[in-house]
Structure 1
Amino acid sequence: MANQLLRLDRRGLVLLYIFLGTLQESGARQIQYLVPEETDKGFFVGNISKDLGLEPWELAERRVRIVSRGKTPLFALNPRSGSLVTAGRIDREELCETVSSCILKMEILVEDTLKIYGVEVEIMDINDNAPSFREEEVEIKVSEHATPGSRFPLPNARDPDVGINSLQGYQLNSNSYFSLQVRGRTDGAKNPELVLEGSLDREKEAAHLLFLTALDGGDPVRQGTVPIRVVVLDINDHIPKFTQSVYRVSVPENLSPGTRVLVVNATDPDEGINGEVVYSFRDMESRASEIFQLDSQTGEVLLQGPLDFEKYRFYEMEIQGQDGGGLSTTAKMLITVVDVNDNVPEITITSSTNSVLENSPPGTVIALLNVQDQDSGENGQVSCFIPNNLPFNLEKTYEYYYKLMTNRVLDREHIQSYNITLTATDQGSPPLSTKTHISLNVADDNDNAPTFAHSSYSAYILENNARGASFFSVTALDWDSEENARVTYSLVEDTVQGAPLSSYISINSDTGVLYALHSFDYEQFRDLQLQVMAHDSGDPPLSSNVSLSLFVLDQNDNTPEILYPALPTDGSTGVELAPRSAEPGYLVTKVVAVDRDSGQNAWLSYRLLKASEPGLFTVGLHTGEQAPPNTDWRFSQAQRPGTSGSQNGDETGTWPNNQFDTEMLQAMILASASEAADGSSTLGGGAGTMGLSARYGPQFTLQHVPDYRQNVYIPGSNATLTNAAGKRDGKAPASGNGNKKKSGKKEKK
């Protein structure tokens, strides 16, 4: 036995090398191997890495594997040697029964390129089975009046091997009455028959014991023997005869158990028990005995088990009709099973991914799947499809393999996941279909930059703010996910008054809250322009900028400063002189003060805190003059200071409340003050107008308005405006700062 296996192995390897050489020259994608049955686990089948054009180490790196369809694997890949080996003991008879050519098909998947290679392995038969008979003993009844040449069927032997190792012939032991003849069947099988060579004499010999031996063609030859007992009967000169020598019928595979398939009939002209025919299956295979049942009296063939076209498509049986005298005849019954569309298509996901990156190019492979139907003909023709409204295509590749691919770029921000329904439908009538689902997540790609809610921002902060105080926050949104959507904030570097921006302002990188690192002074610093950058944490990161205008708001943090009259530096008391003849309303002096704040925080009012004779002198509330002006100085409703047509103030001539109007008026006063300080202007509208008459009309002169010029501090100078309109008493103003000193007592009116 071992020598026979060795010879088969060597012969198979020679054939394999010749075949592979031819295969490589032709460029075919189908790989074929030969391997004898009954080999041990790990038996070398073929060098699969070489036949695939790969190195052995590439099998693992490129994830080369055998595609499994749920059955017990018969072969395995050896990644070290790059060879295909057996995964266990292989019994050809178990796999292929009596089929002469036992070819096993499989697919090899190169997963990194999703390429499929078909592999066929032919299992070579070895003579591991001896011919055998199902019967332990056979009894044949022969009439003593049987004529020489009469034939009697003998049992057939079975040998599951094929070719030369299968059943080759029969032998009968030597005797004086019977010989052996073998007749061929339509399917190639051989039926042994016992032939009567001479007349029988029951009274001389009532029974004959023979031995039928079946032999195969193996080396060494295997054989099986069954005893044949021939009983000589008394005369029964008619043999039953079937109405047909061959009964043929085609039945659909979906017949229910108990259904009558056909009826056989045999007649015998003898009378009595010799003419009564009993029916039975003869030489019936085990698989057929589980499916069919024969009524011995009526000849009805009934279905007792389910038919399955995909498992067995054809049955050939012999029916024997035997009369009461022991004479028998046979007929053949051929049953063809017709396919019915009773199998739904099967979808097998061979390889798939559950996530794909958005913006992946069209044609990205999502899954590799196999679609099959066990039916035949149109019932087994399967088409596979997916809904049309999805951004995917199904492309048929090798035989019944399909690739599921993208047909356009995916956008996670539009759709984050897909539930893809795969439908396989056969062409039967009615068609059968099956569905399966593939869940696919769209992975995020950093394709969205952070976006601010506004194109620009304005923020306000009071001067003298505390260092480190928050004053504003910005927020940017990123439509990506996870790290690609995590936004970090920063300031675009810049310089402010020669110092880096980061010394004035900081921002919380996580929250976008802005903090003041510097205590601002409105009188020195009124606004700041900066840019905030928001960038995500993607790779590479994306960013966007937004401009922010920070305005410093004034606080009343400066006390007024009295410029005139100034306190003497020599310790004396400042004295202002007034003529004894001065009438009420006489302008004795003017207090000049300034405030560094702006707007309403810079408008000043004056009052006397202490006077030796309180009723003798008064000070103008807003002008700073120790006598009040005439009552006709007040404006009419249309002449009040402020913007054209404004109606600020009240009838007493108080300062405007509107900050815009007051700042405009202050700006005009300062401009006129600057012109007066450098002596280059006549104050715009002529003497006493402060340049205002051009705006408010020729009637708007300083004789109708308090002299604000003497309240104005000129930046960069210690000068103040003088009463350019002259004293109301028509006299020239005093020289110097208006402080008159005398050595005697104060002059009285």
Structure 2
Amino acid sequence: MVDPLLRWGCREALLLFLLLGSLWGAGTGQIRYSIPEELDKGSFVGNISKDLGLKPPELAERGVRIVSRGKTQLFALSPRSGGLVTAGRIDREELCAQSARCLVNFNVLVENKMKIYGVEVEIIDINDNSPRFRDEELKVKINENAAVGTRFVLPFARDPDAGVNALLSYRLSSNKHFSLDVKSGTDQQKYPELVLDQPLDREKEALHDLLLTAVDGGDPVLSGTTHIRVMVLDANDNAPLFTRPEYTVSVPEDIPVGTRLLTLTATDADEGLNGKLTYSFRNEDDTISETFQLDSSLGEISTLKSLDYEESSCYLIEVEAQDGGALLASAKVLVTVQDVNDNAPEVILTSLSTLVSEDCALGTVIALFSVHDSDSGENGEVACSIPSNLPFALEKSVNNYYHLLTTNVLDREETSDYNITVTVVDHGTPPLSTETHISIKVVDINDNPPTFHHASYSTYILENNSRGVSIFSVTTHDPDSGENARVSYSLSEDTLQGMPLSSYVSINSDTGVLYALCSFDYEQFQNLHFWVTASDSGNPPLSSNVSLSLFVLDQNDNVPEILYPTLPTDDSTGVELAPRSAEPGYLVTKDHGQPPLSATVMLTVAVADSIPDVLADLESIKMPSDPEDPSLTLYLVVALAAVSCVFLAFVIVLLALRLRRWQKSRLMQASGGLTGMPASHFVGVDGVRAFLQTYSHEVSLTADSGKSHIIFPQPNYADTLLSAESCGKSEPLLISDQINGNEERGDFQLLCVQE
């Protein structure tokens, strides 16, 4: 049962340590605490939330957590209180052995800031270990002729505690022959020696029982004992002697197992059994006996297993030589292990953002990682690097932590993924390296509008198309991805001939295919001009426009329309004069449609000696009621056949008509009927106007069923029929003056065809 006074003292010490720890941590850049060892699990260490400038609930919200390279987590965070607490019982001796100070270092990460804070906790030793001898009983053999003042090395006790709690002194039970002398070595270890104060007499007393007590300086004082049995032997007056009191050897950690490190040499002046020496480890612990082997006869020390500098950098071995008479001598052996570069650097990824927006700001932290090399010196110094052709850089933080951050603007359309190789190389010879791969995906933003493949488009469609027929297709390219690259198409709001554009054409919003909503008519309009808009589905959406021209192509879907001469409405007839200079093969009219279409008009040819005779006969000519009478074909055939018959008569009549015309012209000038009228003037009869030519005309005469027809051909080029435009705008020209009464009357009608 623990004494109440002792328990009170521990509690007071704990409070003092906590107060000192808080003051220690608040005054420096690094957070420091101090606690005694052997606290219960969950014991308070320090107010970490206060030292971080956070409130207790913010520890979880900001992702505060402990980052440590150790396999065993000694401390934990209490989100409720905001304090740093122990994760279990802490044994200082297990952590730091007998080191003067026992410091535990770790880091606290604030996840949302990607910020690291160094924390150092000193573990204060308490007197929880008693001094302990390796053996509960030790046998010491002493020759009876041993001189007064002869010293015998005794086993020393070990106390894992440090400072005042460590081993303080030795005490020897009361006796009349021996006393105790304690010496301090260079390693501050106290070594007890048994000193012979009075000569021994084996025959009187062959066995002496002594009790050696080791005492520490703790409060309360703890102690340990060992029983020493001194056996008095017959005279062996020479003790072994080592050539040196201390041996040192330095070896690299990668030497093969079984390598001989050194040979110890001791001498004994005695002969025979008293001079034969046996070597052995003195007070060796398990580590020494498992690592080294000592040849008891030769004194050679060799390795039993591989040395590891990272496990232990030095070994202190005590070797004793004992002769056959039980006299002893001891020597120290210090084995120093040299570090070799046998550990590659280690990379520990602490935090990583695998998805990075392409519009992130320069200097955005992508990852946080630490590097560590278990070697020492230059072998443990490392250099960290990444390829130089990447838009990223490394920035060193505290305690070998590095930030990976952006240095250039990211463009997903140029590079969507990055596989960053982090290379860590130490400064050893030869250098060792480690590579860690960090994969980062660039997240798309809507920074590219849809782009048409051409600056403008034009297409053609034949008139009389079917409704709903596909006309054209437009396509775009959007280098973005996902919704940012999904494009929809639409047409501009416009009107055509008072109707909205949407009543003529439509576009498929998904495919960009343009459709006709009506059947186009070339005679109504020949082209449409409108804009097509392409918009993506980003937020906000981006769009672009392109102009599209739709041309309607003509089809031969209209028959020729006779524009001149028009059918009269007042029983009059139209007159067209043909020039006398018209040559055979003169072109009257033509149709170029595919397939060719036709229209029919009745043509009446009046044959007269002079123009006045023709004008007089035209008054009595009536238009046929049906221009498409089947007898027309018969008339044409008969007229064609009659031409060959009357050709000779036509030559004679032509001469007569020319003479007659000249005579009529003089008569008209004399009578004043046409006197003073310019040759280019029009003459009107019954509201119909005709154009009189001023030069001689060549007359062709045909006969059909008792009727004579006269045709006045026009000259090529100079005096042609009215143009297509003037035919469409002008009225038929008629002349109604009386022609010579002696001439037969015939019907005459002009034909004007517009292509």
Distance in 2 of aligned mates of 1:111 and 1:427: 32
Q: Which has the larger radius of gyration?
A: 2
2:621 corresponds to 1:616? no
Equivalent positions of 1:590-601 (< 5 A) are none
Distance in 1 of aligned mates of 2:725 and 2:314: 128
Deviation, 1:350, is 1.6
Equivalent positions of 1:75-474 (< 5 A) are 75-474=75-474
Q: What secondary structure sits across from 1:523 in the alignment?
A: coil
More moved, 531-540 vs 266-275: 531-540
Q: Describe the shift of the 1:435–1:72 C-alpha distance in structure 2 as closer, same or farther (beyond 3 A).
A: same
Deviation, 1:155, is 1.1
More moved, 118-127 vs 69-78: 69-78
Deviation, 1:451, is 0.8
Q: What secondary structure sits across from 1:617 in the alignment?
A: helix
Deviation, 1:713, is 4.2
Deviation, 1:537, is 1.5
Deviation, 1:466, is 3.3
Checking the alignment, whether the CA contact within 8 Å between 1:184 and 1:190 is kept in structure 2 is yes
Distance in 2 of aligned mates of 1:447 and 1:577: 75
Distance in 2 of aligned mates of 1:305 and 1:348: 30
Distance in 2 of aligned mates of 1:203 and 1:56: 80
Checking the alignment, whether the CA contact within 8 Å between 2:248 and 2:334 is kept in structure 1 is yes
Q: Describe the shift of the 1:496–1:607 C-alpha distance in structure 2 as closer, same or farther (beyond 3 A).
A: closer
Q: Describe the shift of the 1:522–1:128 C-alpha distance in structure 2 as closer, same or farther (beyond 3 A).
A: same
- Which residue pairs with 1:34 in the alignment? 34
Q: Which amino acid aligns with 2:92?
A: R
- Which residue pairs with 1:700 in the alignment? 717
Q: Which amino acid aligns with 1:701?
A: A
Checking the alignment, whether the CA contact within 8 Å between 1:48 and 1:82 is kept in structure 2 is yes
Distance in 2 of aligned mates of 1:446 and 1:353: 21
**CA deviation string 1:697-717 (max 9, x = no partner):** x961345xx666599544xxx
Distance in 1 of aligned mates of 2:429 and 2:161: 40
Q: What secondary structure sits across from 1:274 in the alignment?
A: helix
- Which residue pairs with 1:481 in the alignment? 481
Q: What secondary structure sits across from 2:261 in the alignment?
A: strand
Deviation, 1:225, is 1.9
Q: What secondary structure sits across from 1:616 in the alignment?
A: helix
Q: Describe the shift of the 1:70–1:525 C-alpha distance in structure 2 as closer, same or farther (beyond 3 A).
A: farther
Q: Which amino acid aligns with 1:347?
A: V
Deviation, 1:483, is 1.5
Deviation, 1:16, is 4.2
Distance in 2 of aligned mates of 1:576 and 1:627: 24
Distance in 1 of aligned mates of 2:727 and 2:419: 80
Deviation, 1:325, is 0.6
Deviation, 1:20, is 3.8
Checking the alignment, whether the CA contact within 8 Å between 1:9 and 1:36 is kept in structure 2 is no
Distance in 1 of aligned mates of 2:496 and 2:643: 49
How many residues align? The count is 652
Checking the alignment, whether the CA contact within 8 Å between 2:92 and 2:123 is kept in structure 1 is yes
Q: Describe the shift of the 1:400–1:6 C-alpha distance in structure 2 as closer, same or farther (beyond 3 A).
A: farther
Q: Describe the shift of the 1:283–1:478 C-alpha distance in structure 2 as closer, same or farther (beyond 3 A).
A: same
TM-score (ref. length: structure 2): 0.78
Distance in 1 of aligned mates of 2:733 and 2:166: 141
Q: Describe the shift of the 1:618–1:156 C-alpha distance in structure 2 as closer, same or farther (beyond 3 A).
A: farther
- Which residue pairs with 1:692 in the alignment? none
TM-score (ref. length: structure 1): 0.79
Equivalent positions of 1:59-78 (< 5 A) are 59-69=59-69, 71-78=71-78
Distance in 1 of aligned mates of 2:127 and 2:34: 16
Q: Describe the shift of the 1:471–1:723 C-alpha distance in structure 2 as closer, same or farther (beyond 3 A).
A: farther
Deviation, 1:485, is 1.2
Deviation, 1:464, is 3.4
Identity %, equivalent residues: 56
Distance in 2 of aligned mates of 1:303 and 1:334: 14
Distance in 2 of aligned mates of 1:239 and 1:682: 167
Q: What secondary structure sits across from 1:412 in the alignment?
A: coil
Deviation, 1:600, is 6.2
Checking the alignment, whether the CA contact within 8 Å between 1:355 and 1:441 is kept in structure 2 is yes
Q: Which amino acid aligns with 1:273?
A: L
Distance in 2 of aligned mates of 1:439 and 1:115: 22
Q: Describe the shift of the 1:442–1:346 C-alpha distance in structure 2 as closer, same or farther (beyond 3 A).
A: same
Checking the alignment, whether the CA contact within 8 Å between 1:45 and 1:84 is kept in structure 2 is yes
Distance in 1 of aligned mates of 2:22 and 2:282: 47
Structure 2 alignment gaps of length 5 or more: 576-581, 583-587, 603-627, 648-683, 697-714
**CA deviation string 1:368-410 (max 9, x = no partner):** 1211211111111111111222222112121311112222112
Q: What secondary structure sits across from 2:40 in the alignment?
A: coil
More moved, 367-376 vs 488-497: 488-497
More moved, 495-504 vs 276-285: 495-504
Deviation, 1:530, is 1.0
C-alpha RMSD of matched pairs (Å): 4.1
Q: Describe the shift of the 1:89–1:99 C-alpha distance in structure 2 as closer, same or farther (beyond 3 A).
A: same
Distance in 2 of aligned mates of 1:701 and 1:262: 136
Structure 1 alignment gaps of length 5 or more: 579-584, 586-590, 632-675, 689-697, 740-749
More moved, 229-238 vs 75-84: 75-84
Distance in 2 of aligned mates of 1:187 and 1:105: 27
- Which residue pairs with 2:606 in the alignment? none
Distance in 2 of aligned mates of 1:4 and 1:81: 29
Q: Which amino acid aligns with 2:476?
A: A
Checking the alignment, whether the CA contact within 8 Å between 1:563 and 1:592 is kept in structure 2 is no
Q: Describe the shift of the 1:607–1:214 C-alpha distance in structure 2 as closer, same or farther (beyond 3 A).
A: same
Q: Describe the shift of the 1:612–1:548 C-alpha distance in structure 2 as closer, same or farther (beyond 3 A).
A: closer
Distance in 2 of aligned mates of 1:297 and 1:615: 155
- Which residue pairs with 1:647 in the alignment? none
- Which residue pairs with 1:660 in the alignment? none
Checking the alignment, whether the CA contact within 8 Å between 1:709 and 1:722 is kept in structure 2 is no
**CA deviation string 1:447-486 (max 9, x = no partner):** 2111111111112233333333321111001111111111
Deviation, 1:569, is 9.7
- Which residue pairs with 2:619 in the alignment? none
- Which residue pairs with 1:648 in the alignment? none
Deviation, 1:29, is 2.4
More moved, 71-80 vs 9-18: 9-18
Q: Which amino acid aligns with 1:166?
A: A
Q: Describe the shift of the 1:620–1:18 C-alpha distance in structure 2 as closer, same or farther (beyond 3 A).
A: farther
Deviation, 1:514, is 1.4
More moved, 539-548 vs 554-563: 554-563
Distance in 2 of aligned mates of 1:117 and 1:9: 30
Q: What secondary structure sits across from 1:298 in the alignment?
A: coil
Deviation, 1:686, is 12
**CA deviation string 1:45-80 (max 9, x = no partner):** 111110011111221222211113361211111222
Deviation, 1:14, is 3.8
Distance in 1 of aligned mates of 2:497 and 2:477: 33
Q: Which amino acid aligns with 2:228?
A: I
Q: Describe the shift of the 1:7–1:458 C-alpha distance in structure 2 as closer, same or farther (beyond 3 A).
A: farther
Q: What secondary structure sits across from 1:290 in the alignment?
A: helix
Q: Which amino acid aligns with 1:164?
A: V
Distance in 2 of aligned mates of 1:291 and 1:41: 35
Q: Which amino acid aligns with 1:230?
A: V
Distance in 2 of aligned mates of 1:9 and 1:682: 139
**CA deviation string 1:21-57 (max 9, x = no partner):** 4654x5x320111122222222111111100111112
- Which residue pairs with 1:503 in the alignment? 503
Distance in 1 of aligned mates of 2:598 and 2:226: 141
